[in-house]
Amino acid sequence: MRYDRLEGCRICPRLAAHLDQVRDTHPGYRCLPVGAAGSASSKLLLVGLAPGLHGANRTGRPFTGDASGTFLFAALARAGLASDPDPLKARLVNVRLTNAVKCLPPQNRPTAAEMEACSGYLRGEIGELWSPRVKLARCVLCLGRLAHRSVGIAIGQRLPEFRHGQLCEVVPNLWVADSYHPSRQNTNTRRLTTEMFDVVLEDVKSVVGLAS
């Protein structure tokens, strides 16, 4: 699968039809697959589940335009990983953002087959982050259980069960970390608080040599 073909990808018929339908009802929304944001030479890759209807699906940039992005960019700015807490103004610093599934799924729930189909793009992004030739630590932070599962598929490794705050070196110099997703549902219920997420970001910065 060629990563440069992402924008025109319609491999998943259900998701392609859904994007066409959403484009009809929201003509100003981008409604295309959404690739990664941030430099490919970053030390950290944060992986969410899929573009949000009014967020990345509208703006074309992961975690930009909805409540998840507001929470995430504020945390990235506190951690020195974004130049500004405003997702529309921020420049990412040593961190790249992406999603496991690049197209908006109905009810925010991709199927297992769609996650598998899209794993080649995520594999490409992880391949830009880390390779066995690079002898420096790199880290993938999975935002939520399904992102964790997709990262395991993409790297072809059986990962430990998802656990918020977990951080493990799955192959030499490639670390995988877990956090609850910064969805409105998780942050409003305080399943994920700013303090909890700040701790995760400090941990992942530490393993890649970016500690404050």
Q: Is residue 81 near ligand SF4 by the rule CB under 6 A?
A: no
Q: Is residue 11 near ligand SF4 by the rule CB under 6 A?
A: yes
Q: How many residues does the chain have?
A: 212
Residues 142-181: x/- map of binding to ligand SF4 (CB under 6 A)?
Answer: ----------------------------------------
Cβ–Cβ under 8 Å, residues 24 and 2: no
Cβ–Cβ under 8 Å, residues 93 and 115: no
CB of 117 to ligand SF4, least distance (A): 4
Of 150 and 179, the one with the shorter C-beta distance to ligand SF4 is 150
β-partners of residue 167 are 177
Q: Is residue 18 near ligand SF4 by the rule CB under 6 A?
A: no
Nearest to 157 by CA among 141, 169, 146, 144: 169
Cβ–Cβ under 8 Å, residues 66 and 89: no
CB of 139 to ligand SF4, least distance (A): 23
Structure-block tokens of residue 161: 């069960």
Round to whole Å and give the CA distance between 201 and 175.
13
Of 74 and 118, the one with the shorter C-beta distance to ligand SF4 is 118
- Interface with ligand SF4 (CB under 6 A), residue from 43, 58, 102, 148: 102
Contacts with ligand SF4 by CB under 6 A lie at 6, 9-12, 15-16, 33, 101-103, 114, 117-118, 121
